[in-house]
Chains A and B, each alone.
Chain A
């Protein structure tokens, strides 16, 4: 072991780790404490003697109740889930095939094409939403979930392709070649040999794609108009911010509930996710 003395362990490991954990989890704690804090405390002065900004002695579920009773939050949650799952599925499918082709098949300009695909991921949605609005209008998909299911892959497919292409390159070609010698077709080798080995990479691409779809704002704002068809990020901001009045309790309750599915997805697949990002198949 490199760190021998206890103080070194504290200075180089435990203290930085503690600070990192506090820094990472504090926003979630703040979200939770604001969501269960009664309005009287939310409006209390920071200078007040009885102010307790970091905890509450009178927790309440009033903001959660308001969120469910006064808004169409359950619809927003379902819409977000449905759109995120379908667009992630489409993007993963396309990303798998494109990533495999770019990593394995030899054709002219394959490298340039791979870089170009990644560059398209870097085009900001704030520029793309205007031409995409035109396409959505022509297809008459405005104010339907399909408007987002069609547009989200425009940034998800390049990302999945790029991530999976990198992952496929780390898988030894010999594995596939052995299968081909044993009589497998290219498609068979791809689906039976390569894809099962690439599960960590596929899962990390999927988790990333799901998170990006779940949190997306500008396309959802532009393409959906009916209150019951909105997604969580747009619905919460539209209904809980009224000019210069922020309904902090409900906003934080909405943000907290909206982040739970993403947190669950991460917690279930965290090991695959780490392997997928750090790379590779150990030989």
Chain B
């Protein structure tokens, strides 16, 4: 019997060959069995979540770790974040809405290096994406996307009263809305305690009449002429043009009222248009035609102080407690990269746009339906909650307590505008000190 002797040279050769084969077959970056758990909201567009599941499989192969998405209702995200931060366990990456990185500052890892890369790679961030993700000069979350809000309106009803383009000023909107309400087609706007549509209407209304929550130094500054004028407008607009049931609406009611043919216009994301498009066999107008053909979008009108909007910014935060910070960052670099984000962006069909300006030039905008084209540059006029001060955790408290929304709701309920503003100023004083 002959025995083959294993020399040092043959061992090194064999080991090198084995390593090469392994490297060719799969990514060796992380230990086998390593998992990456990403918690996101359930997307308004179901196909987006389907795309993300495909991307999870791609990322798993590429990174050599098991990447898994979990989707939950947006309203439940904060309960999960709180529990995760307190127990120091849970998802490695969590979806951040609005200015949440400011709220969860102590639970998030610094991702400034990734933000520098993404900003340079994709044409720079929109100001609100940067302001929301950057806390004390550091990016604590990586800006991902923005869901813009525009006014969806019924073209044919505006045409019937001779209005061919959407009103450019709040006063014009009130005049047109008054006529349409008399014809049984009121404007639909919620002033209820609901996370999206009510603040997206109330904050810009205050800004566009010259009001502001705080000054640049962060001191309350709401008690001024601009806020009073804004509330005066709301009081009159509500009575003359709006569906007065809106005080009790949540984010879903205006969708249903619009799709049910009850209101002529409403401020919303693209979800109304997309729902009408996907359900065009079922959702019809009063003539029996698919409702989607009668929908157009417009920006909020201008007030004496400008034409600002509030669009919701989204980001991804890497949690400090994660055992795989490198893997999480590697994943985000891939996930926010042009290839992966581009695939998701196309599926979103304009409902979500990029956090960076590069995506305004994407070929999607040349082929997309005409009414959706307004979403391309919509984020360019967004301010942040807390304006003119920073979007701090205190600004979130104001937002969470619906102080600005309630100020307008009081006006709609016939309180004196000056009293409504004074009440809001007192509430802000309690929060900001």
Chain A interfacial positions (CB closer than 8 Å to B): 38-40, 43-48, 129-131, 133-134, 136-137, 142, 218, 221-222, 225-227, 234, 237-239, 241-246
Closest chain-A Cβ to B271's Cβ sits at a distance in Å of 5
B256 located at the interface, meaning its Cβ lies under 8 Å from any Cβ of chain A in the complex: yes
- Say which residue of B44, B90, B262 sits within 8 Å of A242 (CB atoms): B44
| 25 sample A-B contacts, Cβ–Cβ < 8 Å, listed by A number | A43-B259, A43-B282, A45-B262, A46-B260, A47-B184, A48-B260, A129-B83, A131-B86, A133-B90, A134-B87, A136-B87, A137-B88, A221-B72, A221-B76, A221-B79, A225-B91, A234-B72, A238-B42, A238-B73, A239-B42, A241-B42, A242-B44, A242-B46, A243-B44, A243-B271
| Residue B432 at the chain A interface, CB threshold 8 Å | no
**The 8 residue pairs across chains A and B that have the minimum distance between CB atoms:** A133-B87, A244-B251, A137-B89, A45-B260, A40-B282, A133-B83, A134-B87, A243-B44
Chain B interface (Cβ < 8 Å from any Cβ of A): 37, 39, 41-46, 68, 70-74, 76, 79-80, 82-84, 86-91, 184, 196-197, 251-252, 254-256, 259-262, 268-269, 271, 275, 279, 282-284
Measured CB to CB, the closest approach of chain A to B20, in angstroms, equals: 36
Alpha-carbon gap, A246 to B46, bound state (A)? 12
In contact, B282 and A242 (Cβ under 8 angstroms): no
* Contacting residues, chain B, for A242 (C-beta < 8 A): 42-46
Q: Whose C-beta in chain B lies nearest to the C-beta of A218?
A: B79
Chain A residues near B282 (CB-CB < 8 A): 38-40, 43
Closest to A225 in B: B70
| A226 touching B86, Cβ below 8 Å | no
- CB-contact partner of A243 in B89, B90, B269, B284, under 8 A: B269
Name B279's contact: one of A39, A129, A225 (CB within 8 Å).
A39
Question: CA A17 – CA B283 in complex, angstroms?
Answer: 40
A39: chain B residues within 8 A (beta carbon): 279, 282-283
Task: Give the Cβ gap from A133 to chain B, nearest Cβ, in Å.
Answer: 4
A46 and B262 contact, CB distance less than 8 A: yes
Chain A residues near B74 (CB-CB < 8 A) = 243
Question: B residues within 8 A CB of A44?
Answer: 260-261
Nearest-neighbor residue (CB-CB) of B268 within chain A: A244
B256's partner among A43, A133, A222 (CB-CB below 8 A) is: A43
Q: How far is the CB of B40 from chain A (nearest CB, A)?
A: 11
CA distance A129 to B89 in the complex (A): 13
The reply to whether B83 and A243 contact each other, CB–CB distance below 8 Å, is no
- Interface contact B44-A245, CB-CB below 8 Å: yes
Q: List, in ascending order, chain B residues with CB within 8 A of A225's CB.
A: 37, 39, 70, 91
Q: How far is the CA of A236 from the CA of B271 in the complex (A)?
A: 20
Q: Contacts A137-B89, A222-B83, A225-B37 hold; do A246 and B252 have CB atoms under 8 A apart?
A: yes
Task: Give 14 new A-B contacts, CB below 8 A, not counting A43-B259, A226-B68.
Answer: A39-B279, A43-B279, A129-B79, A130-B87, A133-B83, A133-B87, A137-B88, A137-B89, A226-B70, A237-B73, A242-B45, A243-B42, A243-B251, A245-B252
